């Protein structure tokens, strides 16, 4: 093969590679062109034009696992309502264990579809939030005369920072662990706990945690279906409210002439609406108090990013000092940075 000396400009002849043939040279040429073409091809972007992170679509098996888990939980809930087992929650007998297995199976399926997409930071935080749920729920819900529960603050926090599926999983695990270790009666209310975690994530995705009053309204609205989910369980299985405060409200309403289901419905709706409004407000305060560097570890919190009026006033002052209108300050800064 002839090569040209770059210094002398004269050609020189070197021995060809014994294994080199026209076919191998053509193959190497095609490989080189293919690699160059791939290098020129732009990679799929993970951000949109505004710079927001684009979340990849979940795989089909993940969606199927979440759907199956939700179906098992709903089926277990409907079975509890239709059979109305008298021994549920009285002890860890066959009925209680059967309901526990149903909710636990639903939790496992939801976990299978959720855990691969939950950041490790959320997984590390989840046990702390479950312990918070159990501690506050056991004290407020069963030991005080206050007709509230406050047993889902940790669930709502997880839902706001990680999304509906993670919030639902936290609610399920809370009631299952709580029922196994301390209070078996809470197992029958697992469907409501799962709903609250999912509702917190849905509310956050819609921007419900950008203002505290939005969070209060979102919590009150979430308390309506939560109360309706829990009312049949409380009325048909436990004969009314289980806690000191909720039970006294049901007894007072019955004394005034209301039926068991009517008294449990009024109590459930009133308590759940107030309870969830308070919890969503507390969750808003917790999320808003997190430092920006810590919030950045939870991408889902971008839906709940609070734009304070103080920050807006500071931006307006900077724009006025630079002689740039506030609405064009950002664009001029971007244009300057691009140059």
pLDDT in tens, 109-146: 887 887 777 778 888 899 999 999 999 999 988 788 88
pLDDT mean across residues, the chain: 77
pLDDT of 40 above 60: no
Q: Given pLDDT bands bounded at 50, 70 and 90, which one contains residue 329? A: very low
Residues 6+ apart with CB under 8 A from 208: 214, 215, 217, 218, 280, 304
| CATH top-level class of 60-303 | mainly alpha
Is 80:99 a contact under the CB 8 Å cutoff?
yes
Q: Given pLDDT bands bounded at 50, 70 and 90, which one contains residue 229? A: confident
- Specify the range with the lowest mean pLDDT, choosing from 24-33, 156-165, 210-219, 284-293: 24-33
pLDDT of residue 109: 87
pLDDT in tens, 273-283: 999 999 999 99
**Residue ranges covered by each domain of the chain:** 60-303
Maximum pairwise Cα distance, the chain: 113
User: Averaged over 54-64, what is the pLDDT?
Assistant: 76
pLDDT of residue 336: 43
Comparison of pLDDT for 293 and 202, the residue scoring more: 202
User: Averaged over 86-95, what is the pLDDT?
Assistant: 59
The two tokens of residue 29 are 């040429």
Percent of the chain at pLDDT exceeding 70: 67
Which pTM was predicted?
A: 0.69
pLDDT in tens, 167-214: 988 998 999 899 889 888 888 888 899 999 999 999 999 999 999 999
Q: Given pLDDT bands bounded at 50, 70 and 90, which one contains residue 55? A: low
């Amino acid at each position: 093969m002839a090569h040209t000396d770059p210094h002398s400009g004269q050609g020189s002849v070197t021995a060809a590679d014994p294994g080199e043939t026209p076919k191998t040279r053509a193959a190497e040429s095609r490989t080189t062109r293919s690699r160059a073409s791939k290098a020129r091809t732009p990679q799929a972007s993970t951000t949109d034009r505004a710079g927001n992170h684009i979340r990849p679509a979940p795989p089909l098996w993940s969606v199927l696992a979440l759907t199956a888990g939700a179906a098992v939980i709903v089926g277990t809930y409907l079975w509890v309502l239709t059979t109305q087992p008298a021994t549920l929650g009285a002890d860890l007998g066959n009925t209680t264990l059967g309901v526990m297995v149903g909710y636990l199976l639903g939790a496992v399926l939801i976990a299978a579809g959720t855990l691969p997409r939950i950041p490790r930071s959320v997984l590390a935080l989840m046990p702390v939030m479950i312990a918070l749920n159990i501690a506050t729920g056991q004290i407020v819900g069963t030991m005080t005369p206050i007709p509230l529960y406050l047993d889902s603050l940790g669930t709502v926090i997880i839902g706001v920072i990680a999304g509906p599926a993670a919030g639902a999983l936290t609610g399920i695990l809370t009631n299952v662990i709580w029922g196994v270790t301390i209070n078996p009666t809470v197992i029958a209310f697992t469907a409501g706990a799962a709903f609250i975690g999912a509702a917190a994530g849905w509310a956050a995705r819609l921007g419900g945690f950008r203002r505290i009053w939005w969070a209060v309204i979102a919590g009150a609205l979430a308390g309506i279906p939560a109360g309706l989910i829990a009312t049949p369980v409380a009325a048909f299985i436990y004969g009314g409210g289980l806690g000191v405060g909720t039970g006294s409200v049901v007894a007072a309403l019955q004394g005034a002439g209301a039926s068991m289901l009517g008294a449990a419905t009024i109590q459930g709706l009133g308590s759940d609406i107030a309870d969830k409004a308070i919890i969503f407000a507390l969750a808003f305060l917790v999320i808003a108090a997190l430092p920006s560097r810590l919030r950045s570890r939870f991408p889902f919190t971008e839906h709940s990013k609070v734009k304070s009026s103080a920050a807006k006033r500071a931006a307006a002052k900077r724009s006025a000092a630079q002689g740039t209108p506030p609405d064009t300050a950002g664009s001029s800064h971007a244009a300057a940075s691009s140059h």
